[in-house]
Structure 1
């Protein structure tokens, strides 16, 4: 029994954001069709280390794959000269239970999370949306921008706001065009990337907003948003995290990646507990929308929210593509177990 082991740099060479977007879209649809299983999320916060880890697992019946990953986010690693975001992923053949791949989890996580946020924008933002805002300029931000521009190439302006470091937002904005070309093979000559200090100003100018911060205090207020704004909220994946004011949910059209998980640890957790919305106000899951089972945006004034807590079944689909392509070009190490 041989298992393919792939390093981070090897994965980067064999998977493409365009392919990952289609794999993520496909898995969301498989979930809607009852062909996936999400196993309970495990997470833990290391208080003294100001860090967190989570374990995600699942089964994609349509692909006959199951597995798990452990991700660790230790921001203070930067001061030690170490990568802050690390993880290991294991993929198994569901026909036999035999492991088929062990690999770095961080890059695949960033790719599939970028695809998820962008699919939310593409499915729910106004068709004439031209301005995108990224709240959070960390590791995930370039992936969100890349995937969104692939699906919505008519985006003319991208505001990048980081509540902790304007310098980080400035650096990303100045380098974004180069990153898109070198890392994602995307030409973005018609798009302007703007670092902005004021969250309020960027929100007031934006048609679609993607949030990717670990905030536990709402950073965006309802009074700032204009009619027809879409939110893809990706930062809330543990209890009590919150990036947007609960009041924004009132009257909005709300969608989840996994309804049960979002109610427990997603952006909608606190609005539900506070009584701003009820469970009945959640229209359904993004896969249901993609399959045409539920309606999406119906007019240009609606506020739409996609609450994405992150699903390991998306990683599995991306990992399958990486394993197949790596084997084809003889990349990675085959180990007998």
Structure 2
């Protein structure tokens, strides 16, 4: 028995944003059609180390793919030269249970999340959206913008980060892969003057106030992925059409978790899961004036589907190394 080992460098060389969007779109559609198994994330909270470890198993019955991702979130890691998020993905054969491949999944995590934001915006944002606001300028902000650029003609990007030098560095980086004006702004309110707003912070206090968001805005709320995290003021969610990636996971640990736990928002007020919108079971945007929010918590089906795309390309190209297990 052998397993194919793929390093982060090899994964990065194989995976494109177009690959990730195609894989995640199929995974969301399967989820919307009830063709997936995906237990909620299991968390190991590590308060003494300001972080956590998560286990994310998933089975896509329609595509016959199975696997599990183990991922951490340690916000202090950049201070010691490590990524905030690091991950490992194991793909298994649904037929025998044998492991097929083990691969670095830090890049997969970032790319599949950017792909999810792009897919959601395609269905929920105004088609003529051309100004993007970014709150948070870390690694995830980059892939969110890369994904959006596949579906929208982006003329301007405004970015705010609590570390001003990081916002300026991000603005310079954007010019390397996108032809547009990119401006680092002094406050989050300025970033909200946009057509599509993307929030990618680990905040536990709202960083976007209700009155800053104008009618017609779409928001990709990416940062809230654990109990107690919240980027958007609760009153803003009450104004908006909310679409989540997975209802159970979002109620537990997504952007909606705090307003629901406080009794401000009811789970029944969530409009749809994104897979239901893709499957035509629920409508996406229906007017140019409504505010739409995509609450992205990150799903194991996204990782397994994207990892399988990498695995298939590795087999075709002969990349990676075979390691004997038994």
* TM bucket, shorter chain: over 0.9
Residue 9 of structure 2: aligned partner = 9
Is 1:304 equivalent to 2:292 in the alignment?
yes
Is 1:327 the equivalent of 2:325? no
Paired position in structure 2 for 1:169: 167
* Distance apart, 1:137 and its partner CA: 0.6
Distance 1:74 1:279, change over 3 A: closer
- For 2:229 and 2:159, the matched residues in 1 are separated by 21
Partner of 2:261: 273
- Post-superposition offset of 1:84: 4.0
* Distance (whole Å) between structure 2 residues aligned to residue 37 and residue 307 of structure 1: 20
| SS of 1:228 mapped into structure 2 | coil
Structure-2 residue corresponding to 1:225: 213
- Which of 251, 254, 265 is equivalent to 1:263? 251
Which residue of structure 2 lines up, in the alignment, with residue 214 of structure 1?
202
Q: Which residue of 2 aligns with 1:31?
A: 31
Deviation at 1:48, TM superposition (A): 2.7
The alignment of Structure 1 onto Structure 2 pairs a total of residues equal to: 325
1:183 aligned residue: none
The aligned counterpart of 2:229 is 241
* Unaligned ranges ≥5, structure 2: none
Relative to structure 1, the CA distance from residue 257 to residue 84 in structure 2 (aligned partners, 3 Å threshold; closer, same or farther) is closer
Is the 8 Å Cα contact of residues 23 and 314 (structure 1) preserved in structure 2?
yes
Deviations 1:82-118 (A, max 9, x none): 4443221111011111111101010100010000111
Q: What is the TM-score of this pair, normalised by structure 1? A: 0.93
Match of 2:142 in 1: 142
Whole-angstrom CA distance in 2 between matches of 1:278 and 1:82: 38
Task: State the superposition RMSD in angstroms.
Answer: 1.3
Please tell me whether the aligned partners of residues 75 and 202 of structure 2 are also in contact (alpha carbons under 8 angstroms).
no
- Structure 1 gap ranges (5+): 181-187
Moved over 6 A (4+): none
Confirm or deny: 8 A CA contact 2:32 2:276 kept in the other structure. yes
Aligned to 2:154: 155
Q: Output one character per residue of 1:260-310: Cα deviation in whole Å (capped at 9) or x when no partner.
A: 110111101112222332222111100110111111111111011111110
User: Quick one: structure 1 residues 77 and 308, their matched pair in 2 at CA, closer, same or farther if it must change by over 3 Å?
Assistant: closer
CA separation in 2, counterparts of 1:158 and 1:48? 37
Alignment of 1:95-106 (within 5 A): 95-106=95-106
What TM-score does the superposition give when structure 2 sets the normalisation length?
0.96
Partners of 1:260 and 1:33 in 2: CA distance: 16
Cα distance, 1:45 vs structure 2? 3.2
When residues 68 and 201 of structure 1 are mapped into structure 2, their CA distance, relative to the original with a 3 A threshold, is same
CA contact (8 A) 1:249 1:276 kept: no
Alignment check: 8 A CA contact 2:206 2:232 kept: yes
